[in-house]
Amino acid sequence: SGKSRPMRILQYVQRTAVQGDANSVISAVDSYCANVEWAMNVGDMKGEILDAVVLDVRPRWVLELGTYCGYSTMRIARFLPPGARLVTLEMNHHYAQVAKQILGHAGVDAQVDLLVGTSSALIPQLKKKFDLDKFDLVFIDHWKTSYLPDTKLLEECGLLASGTVLLADNVTCPGAPDYLQYVRNSPRYKSLYFPSQLEYLQVEDGMEKSIFLG
């Protein structure tokens, strides 16, 4: 039942997860996608790397590129102090609609601003829209070919400042070779690779953490 995979994930969450308990929603998504049908959430293994980075950075402002069902959005939002905000961009209306409902079930929607549109169109509007000077953390998990152009766009829009942390999913699988080459060879970044596995599978993947040096 449920016309789409995101819809089937949402229905499983609504039936099995505890309302207002983000950890139970995260677990529900992971058990559905590990046992019933695979989906492109960052997952529990890479999710623990994401958790560690969020807890270390303690960000006031977070940008996420690629919301999908809101799984990583929840993982980040549940660790944000009151007053901190998470802006997440999704170009697929259906994904965004499902994510909104999953974030609501988890009880983290108050700290999240979910914008629907392409990252290249939305990024230039963010500074003015949220009256912010820079992001403290950027989680990159959208089209793999957009990682590099959007990182350069963030630089050009003055949305990165010395110390801003970029964390990119899937740098091994499906891969983002041009992005990796850029952050690993640019003098403006200190980059480090975190080996892991593709969500719910025994396949190599990893995340790249890159600190912008200004």
Ligand X SMILES: O=C(NCCCCCn1ccnc1)c1cc(-c2ccc(F)cc2)cc(O)c1O
Catalytic residue numbers?
141, 144, 169-170, 199
Cα 198 to Cα 2, 44, 83, 209: the distances in Å are: 25, 10, 33, 17
Q: Could you tell me which stretch among 16-24, 84-92, 96-104, 125-133 binds ligand X (CB under 6 A)? A: 84-92
Q: Which amino acid is at 210?
A: S
Residue 187 in tokens = 């003098």
Q: Identify the residue among 89, 123, 159, 176 touching ligand X (CB under 6 A).
A: 89
In a 3-state reduction of DSSP, which class is residue 7? helix
Q: Which amino acid is at 18?
A: V
Residues 108-167 interacting with ligand X (rule: CB under 6 A):
119, 141-143
Residues 90-109 interacting with ligand X (rule: CB under 6 A):
90-92
Residue 79: CB atoms within 10 Å:
18
Q: How far apart are CA 164 and CA 185, in angstroms?
A: 17
What mask of x and - would describe binding to ligand X in positions 29 to 68, judged by CB under 6 A? -----------x------------------------xx--
What mask of x and - would describe binding to ligand X in positions 180 to 199, judged by CB under 6 A? ------------------xx
Per CB under 5 A, residues contacting Mg ion are: 141, 169-170
